[in-house]
Structure 1
């Protein structure tokens, strides 16, 4: 049995889902459920967290934020 909090071993050929992948999917689902402004606020917070530490993640959240912001008008 693995230790609490440890990740299970990856299956051969399986893609690795990151926490950012899950958060991006969750924010998209939140927006689709009619909570676009809340999804934008959370995406903006994620952008701020990643701004200086992870340019790729920052870009993914920034792109989502810009896509969602068009729906708030």
Structure 2
């Protein structure tokens, strides 16, 4: 039996956009509580979905933290 050349574990975030992730977190936690859970300035100072998406798309470490929080929420 052949094994795949590049086996990858299933990605639980496959098909979920960053916008959906962020909107879900804001709906569940609100900006203030979200800023306490993930210490990112864009959640603290005049937050908006658009400005936070711009920041998260350019900042891999912050995006990872947000995605991890989303996965914990969905468990």
Alignment TM-score, normalising by the size of structure 1: 0.30
Alignment TM-score, normalising by the size of structure 2: 0.29
Identify which of structures 1 and 2 has the higher relative contact order when contacts are C-alpha pairs closer than 8 Å and 6+ apart. 2
Task: Determine which structure has the larger helix proportion and give its number.
Answer: 2
